[in-house]
Structure 1
Amino acid sequence: MHSELNRLISALQEFYARERFILDRDAGERTLTHRLAVHVERNFLGWDVDCDYNRLGERRMILPRGTIVSTDDTLGKSIYPDIVVHRRAVPENLLAIELRKAANHQPVEHDRHKLMALTDPHLWFAYWIGVLLVLDRTGLRGAEVYAGARLDRPLTAWLATRLVHMGLLAS
């Protein structure tokens, strides 16, 4: 997982170096998500990178009722991860990224629950890794790593150390 997270760090370095215009103007979360996805794609050659992707092959990605992300409909809840690194046709799911702006005052719990569900090995669309990124204009304000339907504290600490070392996260 370190290799994949190092590629994500490289994408974040490129993002903060090249996207000053939209960062300085406080662009919307969808704009930031798209631009980060462009840099993620450059660092994950051979993989498909998509925003708001809700498919697994030909099927829609739906969380079954009773999962940790609540739903009121009878079939389940469609979910749209902000950025995914995957193979569309196989399907093979590597990395799901949830991005939020530091100024977002909505509870972060929904993003955390979504990443727990997306990395749940008991669901047919499990991603190997999930990452929550909290973006600010000058750098990250937080990063969490999810694997196996839970917050992976050792990987989160490893990622935080690397991000601090690279100047992307305040210590």
Structure 2
Amino acid sequence: MCKNYNIEEIEILVKNALDKLYHNDRYLLEHDANEQSVTHRLAIYLEDVFFNYNVDCEYNRYVDDPKRLKEKSFKKYDKLFKCEIDRFIKEIDADKLAKPDIILHKRGNNDHNLFVIEVKKSNSKDDNYDRLKLMIFTDKDYGLNYKYGLFIKLDKERELNKLCWFSDGKYI
């Protein structure tokens, strides 16, 4: 049975997982390790506290089919991201496979998609594509049914991290 967490409970548990990441795996951040190395370790700590959910990295399934971002979903956010939407569409293939960094869900359906996480290290310049993906993943019109989205900008220094939450296709 899946627990129905509210945003405040999720935020506390995520911050605790980030504390463990910094305590146990600071080396990865200090030595500029690959983003997937960092998200893998964070997923392990999230799995410890969200034990009623599957915690997966780079998961690309929409039930039994590949999870895709369709060009038409980008267009809904055209005004928010201005000319960047066209750049995103050019840089990625239309109908690109979507592989969020970390998701908390129940495999096999979209009824219990608790939240999706996109992570960037502080030395990464372009966050907008990840933020747009989180808007799409949480947008009820799109059908992936993630209750929340979380963008994490990780810094070598824990206190400089930034967390941005999304729900219903919007920043909250």
TM-score under structure 1 length normalisation: 0.81
How far does the alpha carbon of each residue in 1:39-91 deviate from its partner, in whole angstroms, 9 at most, with x for none?
Answer: 111111110001111112212111233112654656x2221100000000233
Q: Which runs of 5+ in 2 are unaligned?
A: 1-6, 75-84
Secondary structure of the corresponding residue to residue 103 of structure 2: strand
Aligned residues: 150
Give the match for residue 122 of structure 2. 102
**Paired residues for 1:114-133 under 5 Å:** 114-133=133-152
How far does the alpha carbon of each residue in 1:111-162 deviate from its partner, in whole angstroms, 9 at most, with x for none?
Answer: 110100010011121210000000011214311000000111xxxxxxxxxx
1:37 is matched with which residue: 29, 43, 46? 43
Give the match for residue 132 of structure 2. 113
**Structure 2: distance between partners of 1:35 and 1:127:** 22
Task: Say which is worse superposed, 65-74 or 36-45, in terms of deviation.
Answer: 65-74
2:136 is aligned with what amino acid? A
Q: Does 1:15 align with 2:34?
A: no
**Structure 1: distance between partners of 2:109 and 2:132:** 26
2:43 is aligned with what amino acid? A
**Structure 1: distance between partners of 2:132 and 2:56:** 20
CA contact 1:98–1:111 (8 Å) conserved in 2: yes
2:146 is aligned with what amino acid? Y
**Structure 1: distance between partners of 2:166 and 2:153:** 14
Task: Say which is worse superposed, 25-34 or 64-73, in terms of deviation.
Answer: 64-73
Give the match for residue 159 of structure 1. none
TM-score under structure 2 length normalisation: 0.80
2:163 is aligned with what amino acid? A
Secondary structure of the corresponding residue to residue 143 of structure 2: coil
Identity, in percent, stands at 31
Task: Say which is worse superposed, 16-25 or 62-71, in terms of deviation.
Answer: 62-71
Structure with the bigger percentage of helix: 2
Q: Does 1:90 align with 2:96?
A: no
Q: Which runs of 5+ in 1 are unaligned?
A: 153-171
CA contact 1:71–1:77 (8 Å) conserved in 2: no
**Structure 2: distance between partners of 1:127 and 1:87:** 11
Q: Does 1:59 align with 2:78?
A: no
